[in-house]
Copies of this chain bind each other. A is one copy, B any other.
């Protein structure tokens, strides 16, 4: 059996079932959803996700993300790590630079959980 090191990185399987407004959320589901929201609830991280999502193939080099947010590379990398651990981004290294890619469905799934009008 494989040990999952990043349990938050599986958007398809970890959050499930009930959109927030259809029934009382279970405490465990609330914990998980809160962790995901917390990872996004930062202006810099929102801008980073937005920039990655707006890039070709929904993927961006960390080298292109540093200037726009106006922070140091270690700080940007720290924010990207939080987004990665929460399952919003994946990381791959090519040559000198790390590339961050949007996890398909991760934002959409969160969105659906929050949506009053989401059909089940």
Looking at A1-9, A40-48, A92-100, the stretch in contact with chain B turns out to be A40-48
Quickly give the copy total for this chain.
Answer: 2
**Number of A residues with CB within 8 Å of any CB on chain B:** 41
Which residues of chain A from 47 to 74 have a CB within 8 Å of any chain B CB? 47, 49-51, 53-54, 58, 68
> In the complex, what's the smallest C-beta–C-beta distance from A55 to chain B, in angstroms?
9
Tell me whether A24 and B68 are in contact (CB under 8 A): yes
Given contacts A53-B116, A107-B114, 19 further A-B contacts (CB under 8 A): A20-B107, A21-B102, A21-B107, A24-B54, A24-B68, A25-B46, A25-B50, A27-B47, A30-B43, A30-B44, A30-B46, A33-B43, A33-B46, A34-B40, A37-B41, A102-B116, A105-B116, A111-B116, A112-B115
